[in-house]
Amino acid sequence: MNTSDSSSADTRIGRTTRRQRHAVRLRRLEVLRTVYLTPSMRRVTLTGSELDGFTSPGFDDHVKMFFAGPGQATPILPTLGPDGLVFPRTGPQPLGRDLTPRRYDPIARELDIDLALLHDGPASRWAAGARPGDPAWVAGPRGSALVPFDFDGHLLIADETGLPALARRLEELPAGSRAIALIDVDGEEDEIPLVRPAGAVISWVHRHRDAGDHGAAMIAALRAIALPEGDCYAWIACESGLAKRLRSVLVDERGANRAWVRAHGYWRRGAVAVHDDFDE
Ligand SMILES: Cc1cc2nc3c(=O)[nH]c(=O)nc-3n(C[C@H](O)[C@H](O)[C@H](O)COP(=O)(O)OP(=O)(O)OC[C@H]3O[C@@H](n4cnc5c(N)ncnc54)[C@H](O)[C@@H]3O)c2cc1C
């Protein structure tokens, strides 16, 4: 694997998140198949010989996919320089969006990406129309965070955009892990089956109950939920403003250890291509 390890081996023991860097490649892949997981989420399985050497050891890794803009037959692409992707200095820019490698099978040469179809943007539009044989351009991941398993409990909070990473984490947690997941979706029809350690508690929160106050149902659910006892690692990925509020509820109201709370904005209302981190 084309990986340079900036830390010691991936033991995931102890409480320190280890970081790995990977040499960036820009791969031309193609759509193998698609399936609707729910009315609001489509899984696109990509394949191609350029997948060889792909690696994604961290549950919340991301790749950058490049999409064609309105009126473009093919995407504008960055080039690859010695330090990674190089974007044009002037003129039209590549339309890149961050997405989670949901599953990678090196033997079958398959990479699954689960895309939310909730809004009017290039990634969402591409996913809604993707057909077998369509080309797809994928760069990265350029790095991974290897979050230890060695906590008394794991709290995972996400909306549809964070759900692929959340689902990966639940699958990767060792048997016997105590895990709680709080997931924000529009309604019951947007829930998906999740492989998880026995005893993990999954709470689906339905956004249509927000009654105009975005995130109100998630905030109320987090205030009410019984948190795992002992040292708990909390991971949040959803709309940026809500991620910040949920982090504040956890740390300021629920007494969570701020060192073990990681809050990410995976998108922001009215903005494009956002990746916010609210860690301290
Ligand atoms: C590290 C990381 C990993 C991610 N992984 C995934 C993933 O696996 N699957 C996935 O679907 N998304 C994922 N996302 C989020 C994804 O990158 C954004 O949702 C992306 O901006 C959508 O691109 P778009 O081109 O469709 O819309 P954009 O052009 O980016 O946005 C168009 C409009 O839609 C709004 N918008 C964007 N996302 C949403 C949303 N979810 N709900 C409502 N409105 C929205 C924007 O505010 C904007 O007004 C991830 C983001 C990050 C940072």
Relative to beta strand 79-81, strand 84-86 is antiparallel
E-only strand ranges, the chain: 3-4, 18-22, 26-38, 41-47, 63-67, 79-81, 84-86, 95-99, 103-105, 110-116, 135-139, 143-146, 153-159, 179-185, 201-206, 232-239, 261-267, 276-277
Per-residue confidence (pLDDT) for residue 4, from 0 to 100: 39
Region 57-84: what's the mean pLDDT?
94
Per-residue confidence (pLDDT) for residue 14, from 0 to 100: 73
User: If you measure from the C-alpha of residue 121 to the centroid of ligand 1, how many angstroms do you get, rounded to a whole number?
Assistant: 8
Per-residue confidence (pLDDT) for residue 2, from 0 to 100: 35
Smallest CA-to-CA distance from 65 within 82, 47, 52, 77 is with 77
Extents of the domains making up the chain: 3-144, 149-277
Q: Which of 26-30, 162-166, 272-276 has the lowest mean pLDDT?
A: 272-276
Per-residue confidence (pLDDT) for residue 225, from 0 to 100: 96
Residue bearing the CA closest to ligand 1, atom 30: 272
pTM of the model: 0.94
As a residue count, the chain comes to: 280
User: If you measure from the C-alpha of residue 114 to the centroid of ligand 1, how many angstroms do you get, rounded to a whole number?
Assistant: 11
Q: Which residues of 191-223 are buried (b: 16+ CB within 10 A; e: fewer)?
A: beeeebbeebebebbbbeebeeeebbbbbebbe
Cis before 141 (ω within 30): yes
Per-residue confidence (pLDDT) for residue 8, from 0 to 100: 40
Residue to probe by mutation, ligand 1, list 118, 161, 239, most atoms within 8 Å of CB: 161
Higher pLDDT, 102 or 279: 102
Region 138-155: what's the mean pLDDT?
96
Residue to probe by mutation, ligand 1, list 112, 119, 192, 242, most atoms within 8 Å of CB: 119
User: If you measure from the C-alpha of residue 161 to the centroid of ligand 1, how many angstroms do you get, rounded to a whole number?
Assistant: 7
Give the architecture-level CATH label for domain 3-144: Beta Barrel (2.40)
Is residue 73 scored above 60 in pLDDT?
yes
What residues flank ligand 1, with Cβ below 6 Å? 62, 97-100, 114-116, 118-124, 160-161, 164, 266-273, 275
Which residues lie across from 155 on neighbouring strands?
Answer: 180, 234
Is residue 1 scored above 80 in pLDDT?
no
Condensed to tens digits (0 to 9), the pLDDT of residues 165-184 reads 999 999 999 999 999 999 99
Is residue 5 scored above 80 in pLDDT?
no
Q: What is the CATH number of domain 149-277?
A: 3.40.50.80
Is residue 267 scored above 90 in pLDDT?
yes
Per-residue confidence (pLDDT) for residue 229, from 0 to 100: 85
Higher pLDDT, 234 or 5: 234
Smallest CA-to-CA distance from 51 within 111, 113, 135 is with 111
Is residue 12 scored above 70 in pLDDT?
no
Higher pLDDT, 15 or 96: 96
The DSSP call for residue 211 is T
Residue 213: which pLDDT band, with cuts at 50, 70 and 90?
confident
Whether the CB-CB separation of 55 and 22 falls below 8 Å is answered with yes
Residue 280: which pLDDT band, with cuts at 50, 70 and 90?
low
- Written as one letter, the residue type at 114 is D
Residue bearing the CA closest to ligand 1, atom 28: 121
Per-residue confidence (pLDDT) for residue 209, from 0 to 100: 65
Is residue 22 scored above 60 in pLDDT?
yes
